[in-house]
Amino acid sequence: MPLVPTAQIMDQAVRAARGQGAFNVIHLETAQALITAAEQAAVPVILQISENCMKYHGSLAPLTLACKALAEESSAEIALHLDHAEDEALAYQAIELGFGSVMFDGAKLEFEQNVAATARVVAAAREAGVYVEAELGEIGGKDGAHAPGVRTDPQEAALFVQRTGVDALAVAVGSSHAMTERSANLDLELIDRLAQHLAVPLVLHGSSGVPDAVLQEGIRAGLRKINVSTHLNGFFTRAVRQWLDENPAGVDSRKYLAAGRSALSGEAARLLGLFAGA
């Protein structure tokens, strides 16, 4: 089916008080695996293309068009989201390309600058019916720029949402980007307070480093969109490495990429079910 609006998928998650998986696309094989996972789990999925991913591919359009084509051939509900865009122009480009949502990441800006830039993105997105996520309170680990232990202040977050009109807010509650070990603890009391203060869904970035049980507790406390990338990339890479170790003479990249795709798909399906059932 065609891509569905991110707002539709998020509204379903909010009404059901469940977690919605949002997983990063790195290349075509990732997108294929994530869509297969959604079909297997019978749960919607939000495909995310980040600014860093766009830079790797050299352009936003090719991978975007590939995700759209894959969605057309799938029975699953699939939305397309721009992740961690620090460049306003990229957010506007994603809106023009038909993304269902964009995340403008102004967390490195001063509060007033973040408000002004985010509000501009929201205004442009509203005209196109596009859902907007923003970030307040630095999340640890991203490119070494975010200090561990930083937390989002509920009152400041409520003011930010009011002044910008964003649809969802990524909050700093104890997770950290790019973790390869699942050892992070979430500030469940803070999540609960943020959920009480804000009328928009809470988004958890850096979820790869959070254990299953803690993620479920976070969802019960009020998290609604759960972003995962590094954890799934690990499944892909380990499967590729294993295939190459077992087939040292192999040169057909389709064979080891297929192994990675299959491994990622299975874990993504498991996570989608885990979040939905929390």
The neighbour count for residue 182, using CB atoms within 10 Å, is 14
Alpha-helical runs (H) found in 102-211: 111-128, 154-164, 188-197
pLDDT in tens, 172-206: 887 665 555 554 679 999 999 999 999 999 999 98
Residue spans per domain, the chain: 6-277
Task: Identify the pLDDT of residue 138.
Answer: 55
Using an 8 Å Cβ cutoff, are 246 and 238 in contact?
no
**pLDDT of residue 266 exceeding 80:** yes
The confidence score (pLDDT) of residue 191 equals 96
Residue 175 half-sphere exposure, CB side, CA atoms within 13 Å?
Answer: 26
Nearest to 21 by CA among 50, 39, 46: 46
Active site residue 105: no
Q: Note the pLDDT tens digit of each residue in 98-142.
A: 999 999 999 888 889 999 999 999 999 999 999 999 998 655 444
Topology adopted by domain 6-277: TIM Barrel (3.20.20)
Task: Tell which residue, 76, 77, 105, 80, has the closest CA to residue 90.
Answer: 105
Q: Report the mean per-residue pLDDT for the chain.
A: 92
| Cβ atoms of residues 205 and 231 within 8 Å | no
Among 83, 105, 167, 187, the one annotated catalytic:
83
Task: Quote the tokens at residue 109.
Answer: 């800006």
- C-alpha radius of gyration, the chain, whole number: 18
Which residues on adjacent β-strands are paired with residue 215? none
Give the span between the Cα atoms of 187 and 13, in whole angstroms. Answer: 21
pLDDT in tens, 48-82: 999 999 999 999 999 999 999 999 999 999 999 99
d(CA 206, CA 160): 21
Q: What average pLDDT does this structure show over 85-92?
A: 97
CA distance 115 to 119: 6
